[in-house]
Amino acid sequence: MNLDELYQEVILDHYKRPRGAGLREPYEGESHQVNPTCGDEITLRVHVDGDKVADVSYENVGCSISKASASVMYELVNGATVEDSLARLAEFTELMNSKGQAEGDEETLEDAVAFAGVSKYPMRVKCALLGWMAFKDALVRAEAQTSGRTDA
């Protein structure tokens, strides 16, 4: 197997220098996700302002793939509209499920296309998706809370 394909420089760079790490206030939704097979964990918060993802903050322990993926995700969804962030989530999930057949669109996925190689390693796909699952869950919670507030 080709290790360089899995551990691309851009992945190792995000792993060593994670962007947007740390938990911040304010936030409307928080999610805690665990990968039970390896014990990796992430706590992730989403702050929504209008139709924008105004902040994504997180704390995580895990392997290089899961930590780098959370960092890349931060860059993609922070400041994006909720709609765009969900589109990136769908795109990235599709890439991870491609079993090495897709390359990913660099225009939209940016650094996240570096994870295309990960999709060939079924044992690692969950690592790459852990942060995104937390984001999806936190966003649902944030929206539930925000809409609850408007209704009240």
Q: Quick one: which of 63, 80, 86, 133 contacts another protein (CB under 8 A)?
A: 63
Q: Which is nearer to another protein, 39 or 50 (CB)?
A: 39
> Could you tell me which stretch among 1-9, 22-30, 81-89, 106-114 binds another protein (CB under 8 A)?
1-9
Smallest gap from Cβ 3 to another protein, in A, equals: 5
Q: Select the span of 25-33, 62-70, 71-79, 141-149 touching another protein (CB under 8 A).
A: 62-70
Torsion of Cα atoms, 27 then 15 then 97 then 35, to 10°: -70
- Which residues inside 19-58 make contact with another protein, applying CB under 8 A? 37-41
User: Minimum distance from CB of 135 to another protein (Å)?
Assistant: 21
* Residue 13 near another protein by CB under 8 A: no
C-alpha span between 22 and 19 (Å, rounded)? 9
Following DSSP, what letter does each residue of 100-148 receive, concatenated?
Answer: T-----HHHHGGGGGGGGGGG-HHHHHHHHHHHHHHHHHHHHHHHHHHH
Q: Which of 80, 121, 137, 146 binds another protein (CB under 8 A)?
A: 121
Return the SS3 of 82: helix
Would you say how long the chain is, in residues? 152
